[in-house]
Amino acid sequence: MPRNSLGSLPRAASRLPRMAPDMSRLPAGRIVTLADDVTTRLYDTGEEHLRPVVLLHGMAATGMLNWYQTFQRLQGEYRLIAFDQRWHGMGHHGDFGFQALGEDVLRVVDHLGLESPIIGGYSMGGLVAQLAARTDPSRLGGLVLAATGTGAERNALEKITLGGFLRSSPLLNAVPVEIAREISEETPSPHAWALRELSSVSFATHRTVIGEVARFNSTSWLHELDLPVAIIKTTRDIAFPQWIQDEMADLLPRSAVFPVHAGHAVCAT
């Protein structure tokens, strides 16, 4: 399993982040209908001459809320695409399950006619990216898996941690929807926009997603994914401890690990 230093990452990765979004630099979201009448809100920089990268957000986030810094920093280097996954933001409100979320990724790829896109997944999005690749790895150019792993609830420590998340999950959404509804600006400020996005993910979604994470286990089939995978290893991660990220890297036949000395929320913050 190769190990790479941060010095070998693309030059854009070393830029200082902007914590407040510059709304003028972000593409407008649009509602699209994918195959099987699946609807979602899609963001696309639209630069068809650049390599396409589809970014999958984590739990309690939305496509742009999770990835706006990436959009600001990598526009012009890749064609960046994000969308709201089911039960998040303006994502589809049909049946929920990680297998369905993985199929939605390929629906987006087909809808946009993307050739060999890179799929980047953070946390929950990393699990979904694995499932999308499992369906047909030949359709994808590679994966970037950040702050994620092979699943959870396989030993006593993980069960205790998952139990704590389930009991505290209502606290994850700190923005009641009533507050967001009071924001009436037609073009909201970055702060008001973030409040709206946070409030769009219900408490029920948190609990459902945590339950899906608890059931997820990719250890029996990850070795089948014969495509290049970059793993952003968050060394201070509590949600996905280092060992479970290392397990994922060891199982993937073509993986490279890029350690980042930060906690689980680093991709969003």
- Asked if 58 contacts 108 with a C-beta cutoff of 8 angstroms, the reply is no
d(CA 49, CA 43): 17
CATH code given to domain 6-151+221-263: 3.40.50.1820
Query: Of the given ranges (28-32, 105-109, 263-267), which has the lowest mean pLDDT?
Result: 263-267
In this prediction the pTM is: 0.83
Kindly report, residue by residue over 186-205, the tens digit of the pLDDT: 566 777 888 888 888 888 88
Yes or no: say if 233 and 259 are a contact pair by the CB < 8 Å rule.
yes
Tens of pLDDT, residue by residue over 143-198, are 999 999 998 655 444 454 555 554 544 444 444 444 444 444 456 677 788 888 88
Q: Where are the domains of the chain?
A: 6-151+221-263
